[in-house]
Amino acid sequence: MICGDAEITIGSTLSALIMPCASKKIVNRIFVPVNAPQSVMAGAKLNRPSKSIKVTFYSDFDDILTEINSICHKKSHITIYLQTVVDGVALDMIGLLEKAVPILKRHSKVTGVTIMLNDSNGLGRVGPRSLGYLNLMEANHGVNFLKKAFSTLNCPIDVIVAGSWFDAFGHQGGYVIGTASLVECLTWDAKAFFFSTPPMPLQAAMSDRMLRLLSEQAIEHVEN
C-alpha cells in the first residue's frame, strides 16, 4: 500500500493494527518506544479507551518482556512497534528475538504477535542494495532469518514494514508492506484520512523506478 503522506501512513497503520485483535476475550497489548516519532505516538492514542486495549510506552525492550511475563489472566495479542534504524544504528533484531521467543514460547496466554517495523531511516540507506533493513538482515543472517527465529512458536506471527519515500528518496509519500491478509485488514480498518492523501501517479512511478535502479545496480555489481 502507498500513500501521499508518510506520517499519516505510519500513524494510521499503527492505529489500525490495534483494533482487529482487540476483543472481549483477548487484550491487545501494544508496545511503543518513548522516542517514537510524534505521528506514531498520535496513532497509538487515536482509538477510544477500552479494556481490550493496553498501550505501553517503553524505554527499554526488557520492559516488554517484563510486561509479557506478568500476563496471568486474559489471553493477549502482542503488538510491538520498532524503529529499524536510529541515529544511523541498525536495530539488533536477532538479539531481541533471542530474548523474546523463549518467553513467548512458554506463555500460554499469548495468542499471536504483530511486529511493525518503521524503516523510514533504512530504505535507501542500509543493506548491500540500499533496500532497507530487511535487505541488511537477510544479507547478514539469511533470507529466512525471521522464519527461523519464530519457528518454535505455536502462535501466529505477522510482520509489517512501513516507511517514508521522502526519507528514502526525497519525494513525498509513504508505504506499507505486509501479508495479503494484513493489507486487506488495513484497507478496512485504517482511519479514513489514510486514504485522503493518495499518491500522484508520478510519485508512484518515481518510487518504482528508484527501487528498480537499486536492484539493477546490485545485480551489475555482482556480475562485475
Per-residue pLDDT tens digits for 30-50? 999 999 999 899 989 888 778
Residue range 171-198: mean pLDDT, rounded: 77
Give the span between the Cα atoms of 105 and 86, in whole angstroms. 29
- Please write the tens of the pLDDT for every residue from 106-138: 888 899 999 999 999 999 999 999 999 999 999
Give the span between the Cα atoms of 133 and 117, in whole angstroms. 9
Long-range contacts of 143-148 (CB under 8 A, 24+ apart): 145/94
pLDDT of residue 41: 94
Mean pLDDT for all residues in the chain: 87
Task: Read off the CATH number of the domain in which 141 is found.
Answer: 3.40.640.10
Give the span between the Cα atoms of 102 and 118, in whole angstroms. 24
Give the span between the Cα atoms of 129 and 214, in whole angstroms. 6
Number of domains in the chain: 1
Give the span between the Cα atoms of 20 and 187, in whole angstroms. 12
Domain coverage including residue 7: 2-223
Give the span between the Cα atoms of 194 and 171, in whole angstroms. 18
Give the span between the Cα atoms of 124 and 106, in whole angstroms. 38
Sequence-distant (≥ 6) Cβ neighbours of residue 10 within 8 angstroms: 37, 39, 40, 43, 118, 120, 162, 163, 164, 174
Please check whether residue 80 is in contact with residue 43, taking contact to mean a CB–CB distance below 8 angstroms. no
With pLDDT > 90 as the criterion, what percentage of the chain qualifies? 50
pLDDT of residue 224: 47
pLDDT above 60 for 88: yes
Please check whether residue 6 is in contact with residue 163, taking contact to mean a CB–CB distance below 8 angstroms. yes
